[in-house]
A = this chain, B = another copy of it.
């Protein structure tokens, strides 16, 4: 019976990501989900509570993965950073629609929803802080602004997943790629770039002082 609920949730996810929360009508959602208009109020109470349910439905997953990664003592901090990048790129690209909503609504107008999205972000931030401070204690990573570094990872990915058109043109990809090929290439490119950036950024041997001399 949760079947119909999930149909509505995934229709809403698609549409919110395509056209934004305000740009999507409950009639749009009902039509795409193939249910009667009134079922949305019946199941979720209101359009806004539907969005809250959607966030609840999708979140909570990332935390588990990151927690596991953190506890794995067989991996070096460098390995963990690489896996972190792989995880986030894959996750965002494979849940592009949901991520677009999270991004848009964390600056949005409903306090309830804003707080929820921010809480999710903070929870994930904590895990990454652990990975990097661990690398610092092991004298592999240098001193960096950790929350900003997280912003660099997430921001870079978000920047290139906001607009397929811009991504294709600026990355000089063919414009008529189907979605499978497109996400595959974007993913590869993002992972390689972020790993390169983080390797240079975090490496304890690349002290800030050194680079300054060169100027």
Q: Give residues 178-215 of A contacting B (CB, 8 Å).
A: 189-190, 192-193, 196-197, 199-201, 203, 205-206, 208, 210-212, 214-215
Cβ-based interface call for A170 (8 A): yes
Chain A interface helix/strand/loop/mixed:
helix
Whether A201 pairs with B208 at a CB distance below 8 angstroms is no
Residues of B within 8 A of A79 (CB): 215
Cβ-based interface call for A45 (8 A): no
Residues of B within 8 A of A193 (CB): 144-145, 148-149, 152
- New A-B contacts (10) at CB < 8 Å, excluding given A148-B189, A206-B206: A18-B109, A20-B22, A20-B104, A76-B215, A148-B160, A155-B156, A155-B157, A199-B211, A203-B211, A203-B214
By a beta-carbon cutoff of 8 Å, the part of chain A in contact with chain B is 18-23, 76, 78-79, 100, 103-104, 106-109, 114-115, 118, 121-122, 125, 140, 144-145, 147-152, 154-160, 162-163, 165-166, 169-172, 189-190, 192-193, 196-197, 199-201, 203, 205-206, 208, 210-212, 214-215
Select from chain B the residue with minimum beta-carbon distance to A103. B162
Residues of B within 8 A of A208 (CB): 196, 199
Select from chain B the residue with minimum beta-carbon distance to A206. B200
Residues of B within 8 A of A159 (CB): 151-152, 154-155, 158
Residues of B within 8 A of A100 (CB): 107
Docked complex Cα distance between A205 and B200 (Å): 10
Whether B200 pairs with A201 at a CB distance below 8 angstroms is yes
Q: What distance in Å separates the Cβ of A15 from its nearest Cβ neighbour in chain B?
A: 11
Docked complex Cα distance between A54 and B97 (Å): 28
**Max chain B CB contacts within 10 Å: which of A21, A149, A151, A201?**
A151
Whether A201 pairs with B211 at a CB distance below 8 angstroms is no
